[in-house]
Structure 1
Amino acid sequence: MKRVLSASVLNAIRDAFPDDDRELEAFQLRYERYAGQLFDGVRAVYPDAEDLEERLLEVLLHAWHERPADLKRLDSQRLLSPDWLQTPDVIGYVAYADRFADTLAGVLEKVEYIEELGARYFHLMPLLKPRRAPNDGGYAVQDYRSVREDLGSMHDLSRLAKRLRRSNISLCLDLVLNHVAREHEWAERARRGEAKYQRYFHMFADRTLPDQYERTLPEVFPDFAPGNFTFDDESGQWVWTTFNSYQWDLDWSNPDVFLEFADLILFLANRGVEVFRLDAIAFIWKRMGTDCQNQPEVHAITQALRAVTRIVAPAVAFKAEAIVAPQQLLFYLGRGAHHGKVSDLAYHNSLMVQIWSSLASRDIRLFEAALKAFPPKPTNTTWGMYVRCHDDIGWAISDEDAAKVGVTGEGHRRFLSDFYSSEFPGSFARGLVFQHNPRTGDRRISGSGASLAGLEIALERGDEHEVHLALERLMLAHAIVLGFGGVPLLYMGDELAMLNDYGYVDVPEHAEDNRWVHRPHMDWARAELRHDETTIAGRMYQGLKRLIEARRNTPHFHAAVESRVIDSPNPHVLMLERVHPLGTLVATYNFSEHAQALPSWPLHARGLSDALDRITRERRVLGETLVLPPYGRAWLTPFEDASTRW
């Protein structure tokens, strides 16, 4: 809703553009358009901050004047194409900069590799200056305005972003919202006793309140960071530290913290960052008697920060790193008053979990139940889907979904942990248990996509058939991610079927964190084999390239359309449909190492008696059954519709 601006605000805006009527009009129009969303969010959280509008306006105007001309042109393009993150040609690639190419200058030299793969979104894992190790893989940020010295400089980051823009590739960076390193300037000044900066954190003179909070707080890293509070010797106070003792939780109830991050986001946006991964966003608001996650204020704050970027840098998008239950996840894309006004993108963690669950069980009924539990998302938002990421796999299997298919949530979670740590008889997987919590029985799993899919064990045994099945499992998983509708996020090395890297134990700062087993350095010698399909790397890479190309040529994968479950007559075969104006697409996925016959009547009922398989580009005239080979996949659309052909 357009906001009527006060005379003082209008005057301040006019004074900021004394000689440029076009810039004045552009800023004023955007401010009028999004100020309502901005201050609806701000006032919900900071009702008593009387001078906040004036202070925010100063931040916005400064960032506007600093924004480079080429980024302002990108802003105009994105305003004309608000669905830029939803189109089928948007493929993401995720890597650690130093693991991909040592430095930002090295990454710059490898941009053509990203282009060749077909990515249009490049997420470089934490590269803002962290504290010295240990630093939680870079998520303990010491300075948001500097790059890690070993990677380069902020100038190098801007150069890389500009080069990526020339290839229509959007740079995504992590923005850690919940905490900063204890060495951050704010924390240093708080430790020295500066009252202003002590209010940036949750600091307590004794354990009275921390003990009350602890009654309902979970532990994120029970093995090496038990509890949620740490005593700081220098200040003589207890500090809230959800993740690690060296990561100090910020107090977002302080409007000064909001202003700091509004300014930081615009600073980084003006260096060319187009997507911000909002790290640990679920944790930023604290409330006694709760688990201090997913509180309503989180969504009001996100809406306000998003409005800040819509005014100054509308080319920017937000991705919520909220690994939460499905009933909570939709709030990060916007529900109720926040519908479609918070993050543009959120991780579909459940999809990843269910892919691995069904690969282990060879049964898709739990997958169906989990997807049915998701309500529709706002049509202007999208999912980020992935087979693997930099983190461990937590078995987010709800007891309710498990009960619907006749198993127990606890029993199935135990089965999955056993299966993917090779403890279950006959398992094809090679993974490591991460953060075993004896109190809850929780055992998360680390491992590369290829090792979890069975390639490592197959190669050890010299079994070519098992090698083939392992690659087919990994290809099936990527086909689901590419065919779900959203932004598929391909994790570095999976395109080459890279295995676990056990050398992490030789690096002191990594040795206690086995997630580094699936964070290897890029194997560029292996990458040289990517065009040779007689090699494992070539088979995986070329197969994935064909899937990406098929997706790019299939308009049915626009993210405004939902993937919906079709009750499958075969418990090994997942069926999803996408009802698009160009016709219905049905995706079929065989989770068994055996060929499966799927009765064709659900396909006939959707006009697919004569179908085009978008993956193979072949016509399929369907009789009574569709036969899928082991781990087979098909994306079927009506053949007679000429507009769906290549």
Structure 2
Amino acid sequence: MTVLTQKVMAHLQAIYHEGQTEQQIDQLTATLIETMRITEFAADVVPYQNHWSQQDVIMITYGDSIVCDDERPLVTLSKFIDSYFAGINGVHILPFFPYSSDDGFAVIDYSSVNEALGNWSDISSIASKRRLMSDLVINHCSSRSLWFQNFIEGKGVGHDYFYTAELDDDISKVVRPRTSPLLRETPTANGIKQVWCTFSHDQVDFDFNNPQVLIEFVKIIRHYLDVGVNIFRLDAVAFLWKKLASPSINLPQTHEVVRLLRTLIEHAQHDAMLITETNIPNSQNLTYFGNANEAHCIYNFSLPPLLINTLITGSCLYLKRWLMSMPPARDGTTYFNFIASHDGVGLRPAEGLLEQDELATLISTMEQFGGQISCRTTDDGQQKPYEMNIALFDALQGTTAGKDELGLQRFICAHAIMLGLEGIPGIYIHSLLGTRNDYLKLANTSHNRAINRHRWDYNQLVEQLAHPESLHHIVLKKMTELINIRTAQKAFHPNATQFTLHLGLKLFGFWRQSRDRNQSIFCISNISNQVQLFNVNELNLITDQTWFDLLSPLKIEDVNQEITLEPYQTVWITNHE
């Protein structure tokens, strides 16, 4: 028995310790290894390897965020990336499969590319030039899928893939991010069934108690590896395993499934990665690192609300407190940092980190800046704000006192902070382009998240980017400069040392040191709308080295000198280019 076989078998025994015989576990182990095409001679995975560096930056986009007449959107996207985002070496294309709702997250067919976007050749072409992240929508699929139609008919592939409950079952403790009823009444050939729907009644949840569902997803993973996918984003994975009379979130079997998938993926392609999308309180989110044997990366979901709060209040109290509490990621794992995405700014990850009055002020300020607030239903039936839906540029157009003229500076400051932090940065395409709230799309769809899902016409966008005075030109130029500087610094390796600096509440700072200890960078941002003076002696710089700012012509001539930081200015003071 190989080491891999022993590992997979141990995972499966932990997942299916009830309901599966030893012989069934043996057969399932063999099936999964064969499905992933891992030979018995495959070398064992070297643990705690980092398959990333400071050069990794991932752009997040829909396949049709930019469209051009008479051209497949994936071809347009690839052309645009090559022309304007050359310094970005990774791209996360949000679900590019046939779907029925939720802008792609209700997948009809996992084996096909949405014809409205392109084909598998287009996907492979993008993957040949950059690391490609793809969603693995593993918790649920579309109610219009063939699998669910077979469930309704009671025969064929998928007829036993979905989780059901009874109306009198105890589901009172179930944690959900939506307000719709959990159970969907569905007439089937076998009578009325109550189908579990964590998100919407068009998104029907899988039943991983059935090992055949696991086999199906391993087949999907193998297919995606074959077409060039290198990073797998496990969408909504926290809800994967269900159990009555429980919260049905973050259950032990869910963590074990993640561990199993990591084992299989690493042995099939050693540098492939798993990233867990778990929009939950920070302490729960961190558990998806496991012991460096679950997710390679976890989304740093607490960063967006805390950073926005910092910049609109002019106080880094909560952001600094959070950063000091974050454990350094072990080798083989790292954080995925982002401050904007296709979804809204989640508020659950701020639970326990921001005071209630601070949250209330944050929410009301975003509403003043044109944002929408989405709610979820709590255990006691109350409606509670779940996320803020707003374009990041608009979210940073002012402070709690109202809008001002420093929005661009505030926006760039947010990204300078994010790009310096421990972890891999992910940047939403609309942040790179300075896209504003899309009120027309919001009105046409009545979906709050549509406000931050603008679709650009290629020619109009290119025209905007050609004008030096255009906001979109200015934002892309400044963002490109930041990214190019960041990717050249060894101290910004995702696993380089990080310590929080204590510089008061108006200056947010942290220190990064390269893994070879040759480079230090002190990242200091004025997060207020007033000029701040800062004495360099607070950094205890080594006096026999030359120190300078990577973002400006500033040189440190005297380790006791005082420097002036303009509102929302960031300096990256280093001793080594």
What is the CA deviation profile of residues 369-392 of structure 1, one whole-angstrom value per residue up to 9, with x for unaligned ones? Answer: 122222232222111111210111
Letter in 2 for 1:128: F
Alignment of 1:142-181 (within 5 A): 142-161=108-127, 165=128, 167=129, 169-181=130-142
Count of residue pairs the alignment pairs up:
558
CA distance in 1, matches of 2:122, 2:488: 34
Closer, same or farther in 2 for the Cα pair 1:562/1:434, shift >3 Å? farther
Name the CA distance, whole Å, in 1 between partners of 2:527 and 2:133.
Answer: 32
Could you say which residue in structure 2 is the equivalent of 1:15?
none
Judged with a 3 Å threshold, the aligned counterparts in structure 2 of structure 1 residues 593 and 182 are, in CA distance, closer, same or farther, namely same
**1:435 corresponds to 2:369:** no
Amino acid at match of 1:126: P
Q: CA 1:495 to 1:514, structure 2 compared with 1: closer, same or farther past 3 Å?
A: same
Alignment pair present for 1:363 and 2:315: yes
**Using a 3 Å threshold, how does the CA distance of structure 1 residues 484 and 177 change in structure 2: closer, same or farther?**
same
- SS of structure 2 residue aligned to 1:586: strand
* Structure 2 unaligned blocks of 5 or more: none
What 5-or-longer segments of structure 1 have no aligned partner?
Answer: 6-31, 67-74, 403-408, 423-428, 639-643
| Residues 455 and 471 in structure 1, CA contact (< 8 A), matched pair in contact too | no
- Contact (CA 8 Å) 2:57, 2:90: kept in 1 or not? yes
Letter in 2 for 1:597: L
Q: How does 1:110-509 map to 2 (within 5 A)?
A: 110-113=80-83, 115-116=85-86, 118-131=87-100, 135-161=101-127, 165=128, 167=129, 169-194=130-155, 197-204=158-165, 206-209=166-169, 212-213=170-171, 215-222=172-179, 226-234=180-188, 235-334=191-290, 339-396=291-348, 398=350, 400-402=352-354, 409-422=355-368, 429-435=369-375, 439-442=382-385, 444-454=387-397, 466-467=404-405, 469-505=406-442, 507=444
Shift in alpha-carbon separation, 1:302–1:124, aligned structure 2, 3 A: same
Q: 1:625 to 1:92 in 2, by over 3 A?
A: same
Q: 1:514 to 1:272 in 2, by over 3 A?
A: same
Which of residues 522, 529, 539 in structure 1 aligns to 2:474?
539
Q: Is the 8 A contact 2:48 2:331 kept in 1?
A: no
| Distance in 2 between residues matched to 1:271 and 1:633, nearest whole Å | 41
Question: 1:625 aligned to 549, 562, 567, which one?
Answer: 562
Counterpart among 490, 504, 507 of residue 555 in structure 1: 490
Counterpart amino acid of 1:452?
Answer: A
Deviates more, 1:347-356 or 1:36-45: 36-45
- The letter for the 2-side match of 1:129 is P
1:18 maps to none
Letter in 1 for 2:282: P
Matched letter for residue 137 of structure 2 = V
Give 3-state SS (helix, strand or coil) of 2:112's partner. Answer: strand
The one-letter amino acid paired with 1:64 is: R
Measure the CA separation in 2 of the matches of 1:356 and 1:416: 8
Distance 2:252 2:524 in 1: 38
8 Å CA contact 2:335–2:422 kept in 1: the answer is: yes
Counterpart CA distance in 1 for 2:453 and 2:79 is 21
Aligned-residue Cα RMSD (Å) equals 3.0
Matched residues in 1 for 2:526 and 2:412: separation? 11
| Contact 1:533 1:542 survives alignment (8 Å) | no
Q: Does residue 37 of structure 2 align to residue 83 of structure 1?
A: no
- Deviation string 1:402-453 (CA, Å, 9 cap, x unpaired) is 4xxxxxx22111111001110xxxxxx3322233769254263111111112
Amino acid at match of 2:102: D
Shift of 1:141: 0.8
Query: Using the alignment, how far apart are the partners of 1:412 and 1:395 within structure 2?
Result: 12
2:509 counterpart residue number: 575
Say if 1:140 and 1:179, in contact at 8 Å, map to a contact too. Answer: yes
Identity of aligned residues (%): 21
Q: 1:564 to 1:290 in 2, by over 3 A?
A: farther
Specify the code of the residue in structure 2 equivalent to 1:231.
E
Deviations 1:163-184 (A, max 9, x none): xx2x3x1111111111111222
TM-score (norm 2): 0.89
Tell me how far 1:61 sits from its aligned partner. 3.7
Match of 2:16 in 1: 46
Range that drifts further, 514-523 or 601-610:
601-610
Q: Could you tell me how far apart the structure 1 residues matched to 2:482 and 2:7 are?
A: 39
Is 1:604 aligned with 2:540? Answer: yes
1:108-167 deviations in whole A, cap 9, x for unaligned? 333413542x11110111111213xxx111101111001112112334323443xxx2x3
Corresponding residue for 1:64? 37
Residues 261, 38 of structure 1: alpha-carbon distance in 2 compared, 3 angstrom cutoff: same
Q: Secondary structure at the match of 1:630?
A: coil
- Displacement of 1:238 in angstroms is 0.5
Per-residue CA deviations over 1:607-642 (Å, capped at 9, x if unaligned) read 69952212236422342533211101111223xxxx
Q: Residue 476 of structure 1 aligns to a residue in which SS?
A: helix
TM-superposed CA distance for 1:190, in Å, is 1.5
Q: Cα 1:397–1:127, aligned 2, differ >3 Å: closer, same or farther? A: closer
Instruction: Give the 3 Å change call, closer, same or farther, for CA 433–563 of structure 1 in structure 2.
Output: same
Return the letter of the residue paired with 1:449. L
| More helix, by proportion | 1
**In structure 2, how many angstroms separate the alpha carbons of the residues matched to 1:249 and 1:439?**
24
Q: Does the Cα contact within 8 Å between 2:51 and 2:332 map onto a contact in 1?
A: no
How far residue 259 of structure 1 moved from its aligned partner, in angstroms, is 1.1
**Is the 1:326–1:373 contact (alpha carbons within 8 Å) kept by the matching residues of 2?**
no
Any idea what the Cα deviations from partners look like across 1:566-594, whole Å, max 9, x if unmatched?
222x2111111223312432211111111
Structure 2 CA distance, aligned partners of 1:629 and 1:185? Answer: 58
Distance 1:354 1:609, change over 3 A: farther
